Amino acid sequence: MQSEPVASRSADPRDSRDSRESRSGTPQLDAVSLAIIEQLQEDGRRPYAAIGKAVGLSEAAVRQRVQKLLDQGVMQIVAVTDPLTVGFRRQAMVGVNVEGVLDPVADALTAMPEVEYVVMTAGSFDILAEVVCEDDDHLLDVINKRIRALPGVRSTESFVYLKLKKQTYMWGTR
Amino acid sequence: MQSEPVASRSADPRDSRDSRESRSGTPQLDAVSLAIIEQLQEDGRRPYAAIGKAVGLSEAAVRQRVQKLLDQGVMQIVAVTDPLTVGFRRQAMVGVNVEGVLDPVADALTAMPEVEYVVMTAGSFDILAEVVCEDDDHLLDVINKRIRALPGVRSTESFVYLKLKKQTYMWGTR
DNA sequence: TCGAAGCCTGCGGATTTCGCAGATCTGATC
DNA sequence: GATCAGATCTGCGAAATCCGCAGGCTTCGA
């Protein structure tokens, strides 16, 4: 989860227990957990026994691993849709430029229910945020009154969605 | 199960009856189906009986509706993760400017396995594409050798991800 | 009026989930 | 090297869930 180089993985006395965490707090996943995730990326409701057969583990072991992955927040099993199908008529990606530290702005964006996706980036924007709204008024309100009003926000640029062409969640399956 | 976009729906002339389609080919969802989707956005593995109790339907009815929603491609139930956690070290959003028609370029991007997300936008980019790669070399290769090489691509701008702050799939839950 | 289609309910039987106890393995400590 | 603690896996009933199917109700058009 961190852009930090993983190079310095020396003998850290602490990271013995648990599933070995890097200093960024990101759990280290072994090949079996990756295989389980891959199975669930194909079908989030696949039975544990079927997954177990595919990855070479018992049903109970798969169940425990899945539960742990969910608890740790490594993955979530959810229904995804095209928002346009579900009644949200306006979506946009908003590029944000920030003065000073990024985190307060990123946290404020994260707290907004209309914001589905927040990522800090390197490039001509500091933060990219995806906004899902019901109509133009709503979108305008979120961008102009709420996002641009945040302290530290220097400027924003919006990209209104015209058509969603692809949406996948299957890295690992390739 | 398919890497097919959730967005694209088959404009089949036959299914005029069915659950009533608008001319965009998008199935019209009633309040109950929306409520079911909402339940599954909270927990993709929630039992049908529990969903039925929440939306006022029998277990079998929920099951049939869910199956239909999946078949129609309205929603998918999948595991989602932060790719950085799962071993993909470099991600970027790529803004693309196109000369002429957009669709050939958008389709070419959609066909690339490293591209997870493609959307046509209004604004200073014509297309936004999210790229998931294993390392810097891979990312560089995709952006410079593959994307920029597409016929019709006038220019691109990349935003390398530093940290994913938020990722939700819960429209309707608000 | 009739038939077809869509959607719902109820109901067993097969399957899956769930909780738990015991076995195994690994690393840390002395 | 002996031992202990923690984590993980397996096996196994009991409970819950999933699944297919038959039947009822309603709508719509011939």
The answer to whether residue A155 sits within a structural domain is yes
- Mean pLDDT for all residues in chain B: 85
Q: What are the backbone dihedrals phi and psi of residue B67, each rounded to the nearest 5 degrees, phi first?
A: -60, -40
Q: For B174, which residue in chain A has the nearest alpha carbon?
A: A113
Chain A residues with CB-CB distance to B172 below 8 A: 86-87
Q: Do the beta carbons of residue A75 and residue A38 sit within 8 Å?
A: no
Mean pLDDT over residues A25-44, rounded? 87
Among all chains, which residue has been given the structure tokens 């869910």?
Answer: B66
Question: Residue B126: what pLDDT?
Answer: 98
Q: How confident is the model at residue A173 (pLDDT cuts 50, 70, 90)?
A: low
Q: Are residues A65 and A90 in the same domain?
A: no
- Within 10 angstroms of residue A48's Cβ, the number of other Cβ atoms is 19
Domain count, chain A: 2
- CB-nearest to A82 from B1, B7, B166 is B7
Pairing status of strand B153-167 against strand A75-81? unpaired
The answer to whether residue A141 sits within a structural domain is yes
The answer to whether residue A3 sits within a structural domain is no
Q: Do B165 and A132 touch (CB under 8 A)?
A: no
Closest CA to A121 of A143, A144, A93, A149: A93
Q: Which two tokens stand for residue B148?
A: 């920029």
As ranges, strand D nucleotides with an atom below 7 A of a protein CB are 6-12, 16-22
Q: How far is A73 from chain B (nearest CA, A)?
A: 8
Of B71, B106, B137, which marks where a domain is finished?
B71
- CB-nearest to A123 from B122, B160, B166 is B160
Q: How far is the CA of A27 from the C1' of D10 (A)?
A: 25
Q: Do A122 and B162 touch (CB under 8 A)?
A: yes
Q: Which SS3 state, helix, strand or coil, does residue A104 take? A: helix
Chain B 98..157 CB hits on strand D (< 7 A): none
Question: Residue A116: what pLDDT?
Answer: 93
The answer to whether residue B140 sits within a structural domain is yes
The answer to whether residue A173 sits within a structural domain is no
Residues above pLDDT 90, as percent of chain A: 70
Question: Residue A140: what pLDDT?
Answer: 95
Q: How far is B85 from chain A (nearest CA, A)?
A: 5
Task: Print the domain residue range for A61.
Answer: 19-71
Mean pLDDT over residues B123-140, rounded? 95
Q: Do A119 and B161 touch (CB under 8 A)?
A: yes
CATH code: domain of residue B125: 3.30.70.920
The answer to whether residue B64 sits within a structural domain is yes
Question: Residue B171: what pLDDT?
Answer: 64
Q: How confident is the model at residue A23 (pLDDT cuts 50, 70, 90)?
A: very low
Question: Residue A86: what pLDDT?
Answer: 84
Cβ of residue A17 lies below 7 Å from strand D: yes
Q: Which residues of A64-75 are buried (b: 16+ CB within 10 A; e: fewer)?
A: ebbeebeebebb
Q: For A45, which residue in chain B has the nearest alpha carbon?
A: B45
Q: Which residue has the higher pLDDT, B68 or B23?
A: B68
**Could you give the CA distance from residue B54 to residue A3 in angstroms, rounded to a whole number?**
42
> Nearest nucleotide by C1' from A64 CA?
D8
Question: Residue B85: what pLDDT?
Answer: 79
Instruction: Point out the residue nearest to D8 (C-alpha to C1').
Output: A61
Q: Are residues B133 and B156 in the same domain?
A: yes
CATH code: domain of residue B63: 1.10.10.10
Chain B 50..89 CB hits on strand D (< 7 A): 50, 59-60, 63
Among all chains, which residue has been given the structure tokens 């020396």?
Answer: A10
- Mean pLDDT for all residues in chain A: 84
Contacts of A13 (CB under 8 A, 6+ apart): none
Q: Are residues A88 and A37 in the same domain?
A: no
**Could you give the CA distance from residue B127 to residue B118 in angstroms, rounded to a whole number?**
7
Mean pLDDT over residues A91-116, rounded? 96
Q: Do B29 and A78 touch (CB under 8 A)?
A: no
For chain A, strand residue ranges (E) read 75-81, 90-98, 115-122, 127-133, 153-167
Chain A residues with CB-CB distance to B163 below 8 A: 1-3, 119-120
Q: Are residues A114 and A60 in the same domain?
A: no
Say yes or no to pLDDT of A8 above 90. Answer: no
Say yes or no to pLDDT of A17 above 90. Answer: no
Q: Do B78 and A29 touch (CB under 8 A)?
A: no
Closest CA to A170 of B44, B112, B38: B112
Q: How far is A47 from chain B (nearest CA, A)?
A: 10
Q: Are residues B89 and B53 in the same domain?
A: no
Q: Do B119 and A34 touch (CB under 8 A)?
A: no
Q: Do the beta carbons of residue B107 and residue A79 sit within 8 Å?
A: no
Q: For A84, which residue in chain B has the nearest alpha carbon?
A: B7
Q: Are residues B92 and B151 in the same domain?
A: yes
Q: Are residues B138 and B92 in the same domain?
A: yes
